[in-house]
Amino acid sequence: MDKKTLSERDICTKLITPAVTKAGWDIDTQVREEVSFTRGRIIVRGKLVSRGQAKRADYILYYKPNIPLAVIEAKDNSRSVGDGMQQALEYAETLGIPFVFSSNGDGFVFHDRTGNAQPVEVNLSLDSFPSPAELWERYRTWKGLTPSAEEVVLQPYYGDTSGKDPRYYQVNAINAAVEAIAKGQQRVLLVMATGTGKTYTAFQIIWRLWKAGRKKRILFLADRNVLIDQTMVNDFRPFGGVMAKLSTRSKTIEKADGTREELALAIDGSRQIDKSYEVYLGLYQSLTGPEERQKLYKSFSPGFFDLIVIDECHRGSAADDSAWREILEYFDSATQIGLTATPKETEYTSNMAYFGQPVFSYTLKQGIRDGFLAPYKVVKVHIDRDVEGYRPEKGQLDRDGEEVEDRIYNAKDFDRTLVLDDRTRLVARKVTEFLKQSGDRFQKTIVFCVDQEHAARMRQALVNENADLVQANARYVMRITGNDKEGTDQLGNFIDPEATYPVLVTTSRLLSTGVDAQTCRLIVLDREVGSMTEFKQIVGRGTRVHEDTKKFYFTLIDFRGATNHFADPDFDGEPVQIYEPGPDDSPVPPDDVPPPSDDDDDPLPPEPGPDETIVDDFPFPPKQPGGFGENRKIYVDGVTATIVAERVEYLDENGKLVTETLRDFTKTTLKKRFASLDDFLKRWKAAERKQAVIDELEAEGLRLDPIAEEIGKDLDPFDLICHVAFDRKPLTRRERADNVKKRDVFAKYGPAARAVLDALLAKYADEGVLNLDDTNVLRIAPFTTLGTPVQLIKAFGDRQGFEQAVREMQTELYQESA
């Protein structure tokens, strides 16, 4: 066998795979080839949406389906045996895999990332590939697994008939949590960006610990009823009859066969708890309250639960005296796992002080770069009253006939203490214009407002702006807030990809966290968001990708400057602990008052941290001496508002927002790819297939169609690149075709061949076809009128003659430039 003649795939099939299987690896259960472990980043520029290439490992070897041990990178035999090592190490670091191999078919280079091997990297023959038992022993030593811990770690995932497997980062998160708990760690924190499947990850952790018999009674806690329902209907459904909801309100689910079944409830009408279940799901606020009779969790003994999972644990469990913390401390002996996208670290509250450092983190930036999360476009809109402020005229009266206090009102006041209806109508009009101009008025939209009253007014303004669609269905626009039953009853339909209505929803806080709105394409911010934690949660409402409806990105329209958080280095960085308690200290809230509630009666930290903004109405002084203070808004009519500035920002390849036109972006990207005009000309001239150059650019996320529409559709890609990137005067395709005709370069061919070349040139001028040497073009008009493909190719002698003639014609097309 001459290895030098083999392709990389042949090297794999004939040499690497046999060496691996000879070492004892089961080809069916332990060896996976060509494993794509990312999706490829989604890149959005204006109307352009494209995906980058997914990362793909040549081989991943598994000890068990849930435990990847090794990655192998293969190269053809013209390369050295270790040429794939650096690429393989990059993959292994991402995948959390300790053992790395590179091969060209002559042997292997083996790199041990555990830190326990000397030397770290060695050369192996094809016959010396390590067995599964050898690598597993190294893995056990690296992880410090006892036989008891090993038994838990080897417990498999739940596998369903749909073939759904955890994504690579979910595998890393699950294994990190299971290994930590198997070794005795009692407090575990997982930090995973919104939309990356925290609940599915939690299910697999629970399933493995439960099936291994390590954790027999489990409590899953959340702070939104919809989160519990979603979890029971979807990710936790395999628990079936051993699972119940800690609620007195029934809930039905639709099973795969279309039948409906009522979910089991663990609490009866007299608030007695059935303790025969193994997996319980409940709301914090339904298990406790300020009065002793409300502390339902005390119906269980402190040692009843072996494992407690706290979803969205940033919402209050970190506060030392919060109601949530009360439950956690009661069940102190249970292993507790905190799940969050935004670990809360303030002077007064800390998740890390309670749970410890995260055993695993996966950020928004990583999710976008891997292609699992949707990127976003930001539209910033500035309203004159927000920018310049509003000062009432002397003696200005409000709607109630009372004089408006003479001071300057700004963006912080609007819709909280002072209402300008014209401003509300302006926001609604701008949102509606966006929907109309986008060409899709049925894209699911969330409008975040200052409070429930503002959400009601915004709903009315949107109804009036979209009267035609509201006439067709009154649920086109709805308010969904905690005090609006009609709205909250429609929450399930809003998040259901199959349900058309509601389309536009207004809210204040209810939809800011936890709600799995997969098809949300537009987020509108018409309130300040001072808390980085809440801002990340709001952005997370749009980051889910929904391929079936072609939802690959979302738009965020900001009327209040909330997206200034993008400039904060903490926006997408690793969680940072900022307080400094003593060794034995716990975080202490500023006072002992019970925590306030939001629109959905959910507990919040007792006081806002330094990075939070109060969203309730500010209390005003009593209207009369001795009277009671009241929250009162001032309504001022007849005050106009206009847009003073608007700009569109794009996410660049580093995930940073940049403000530039599509043309500017295209120029910047092209100049990164081609250092100079001469560099580009050499690449273009060297490419036998000009389309290959275009394909390379598309693979990097740059399609030329949108810029062609902006500049002129009759330009060749060659001219587009020269013009946009290097300011060269472009020629149209027809001008290039005419120049070739003027030079009479087809004179050496017979009449039949010249007719074919003339037709090809005309087709290029009309359609810009670059792969003219593809003989399939001869099967369509106008070539079919000139003869059969075989006859037309014979006019050039043979196929090679035809392809050579076309390449010469392409050279002539670009002669004066190249």
43-50 mean pLDDT: 63
- Strand, helix or coil at 171? helix
Predicted local confidence at residue 626, as pLDDT: 31
- Residue whose entry in the numeric block shows the structure tokens 């904060």: 568
Closest CA to 815 of 708, 726, 743: 743
With 80 as the cut, is the pLDDT of residue 258 above it? no
Position 705 pLDDT exceeds 60: yes
Q: Is the pLDDT of residue 514 over 70?
A: no
Task: Supply the pLDDT for residue 585.
Answer: 25
Q: In the predicted model, is pLDDT for residue 319 greater than 50?
A: no
In this prediction, residue 539 carries a pLDDT of 79
- For the chain, give the number of residues: 818
Residue 22 has pLDDT above 90, yes or no: yes
Average pLDDT, integer, range 560-586: 44
Q: For residue 701, how many C-alpha atoms fall within 13 Å in the half-sphere facing its CB?
A: 23
- Alpha helices, DSSP H, located in 51-166: 85-95, 132-143, 147-153
Q: In the structure encoding, which two tokens stand for residue 556, read together?
A: 């965020």
Q: What is the pLDDT of residues 48-104, one digit of tens each?
A: 667 777 889 999 999 988 899 999 999 988 888 888 899 999 999 999 999 999 999
Predicted confidence band at 323 (pLDDT cuts at 50, 70, 90)? low
Beta strands 121-125; 107-112: pairing state: antiparallel
- What's the pLDDT score for residue 225? 73
Distances (CA, A) of 434 to 316, 423, 429, 526, 557: 36, 17, 9, 15, 9
pLDDT recorded at residue 577: 23
Neighbouring CB atoms inside 10 A of 584's CB total 5
6-20, 184-198, 305-319, 737-751: least confident range:
305-319
Above pLDDT 70, what percent of the chain?
76
Concatenated DSSP letters for 413-424?
TBTTTEEEHHHH
Given this model, what pLDDT does residue 702 score? 67
Could you report the per-residue pLDDT of 518-534, keeping only the tens digit for each?
A: 788 888 988 887 666 77
Q: Output the pTM of the full model.
A: 0.68
| Selection from 361, 363, 355 nearest residue 194 by Cα | 363
Q: What is the pLDDT of residue 627?
A: 30
User: Across residues 280-303, what is the average pLDDT?
Assistant: 80
Whether residue 666 is predicted with pLDDT greater than 80 in this model: the reply is no
Q: Closest Cα partner for 113 from 132, 95, 131?
A: 95
Q: Which residue has the tokens 């599964």?
A: 132
Helix axes 168-182, 198-211, angle to 10 degrees: 40
Of the candidates 524, 485, 490, 495, the residue with the CA atom closest to the CA atom of residue 508: 524
E strands, 495-553, are 504-507, 520-525
Copy the structure tokens of residue 302. 């402190």
Between the ranges 170-179, 232-241, 596-605, where is the mean pLDDT highest?
Answer: 170-179
Dump pLDDT digits (tens) for 623-634. Answer: 333 333 334 555
* Alpha-carbon gap, residue 197 to 203, rounded angstroms: 10
- Of 6-15, 330-339, 367-376, 641-650, the one with minimum mean pLDDT is 641-650
CB 541 within 8 A of CB 512: yes
For Cα atoms 74, 56, 540, give the angle at the middle one, nearest 5 degrees: 160
Select the more confidently predicted residue: 25 or 5.
Answer: 25
247 or 609, greater pLDDT: 247
Q: Residue 780's pLDDT is what?
A: 73
Q: What is the pLDDT of residue 123?
A: 93
**CB count, 10 Å around CB of 261?**
10
Strand partners, 377: 555
CA 285, CA 531: separation in Å to the nearest integer? 23
Residue 371: count of CB within 10 angstroms of its CB: 21
Q: Contact 555/376 with Cβ under 8 angstroms?
A: yes
Of 551 and 711, more confident: 551
pLDDT at residue 481 tops 70: yes
User: Strands 48-51, 42-45: parallel, antiparallel or unpaired by DSSP?
Assistant: antiparallel
Q: What is the CA radius of gyration of the chain?
A: 32
Distance CA 785, CA 778 (A): 10
Cα maximum dimension of the chain: 107
Q: Which two tokens stand for residue 155?
A: 């417990």
Higher pLDDT, 334 or 786: 334
Indicate if the pLDDT at residue 574 is higher than 50. Answer: no
Highest mean pLDDT among 11-20, 35-44, 217-226, 788-797: 11-20
What is the H or E stretch that residue 437 is in?
Answer: helix 421-438
Interhelix angle 198-211/225-233, rounded to 10 degrees, is 60
| pLDDT cut 90: percent of the chain above it | 18
Alpha helix stretches (DSSP H) within 258-371? 284-287, 323-330, 351-355, 364-370
Nearest to 312 by CA among 604, 617, 11: 604
Is 268's pLDDT higher than 50? yes
Q: Please report which confidence band the pLDDT of residue 219 belongs to, taking 50, 70 and 90 as the band edges.
A: very high
Residue 607 pLDDT greater than 60, yes or no: no
Lowest average pLDDT, out of 244-248, 453-457, 634-638, 802-806, goes to 634-638
**What's the whole-number mean pLDDT along residues 750-776?**
77
pLDDT band at 580 (very low <50, low <70, confident <90, very high): very low
Chain segment 421-464, per-residue pLDDT in tens: 888 888 898 888 888 877 788 989 999 888 888 888 899 999 99
pLDDT score for 178: 92
**Lowest-confidence range among 233-237, 281-285, 352-356, 563-567?**
563-567
pLDDT at 586: 23
pLDDT at 315: 52
pLDDT at 287: 77
pLDDT at 547: 77
Residue 514's closest CA among 224, 767, 182? 224
Find the mean pLDDT for residues 643-655: 52
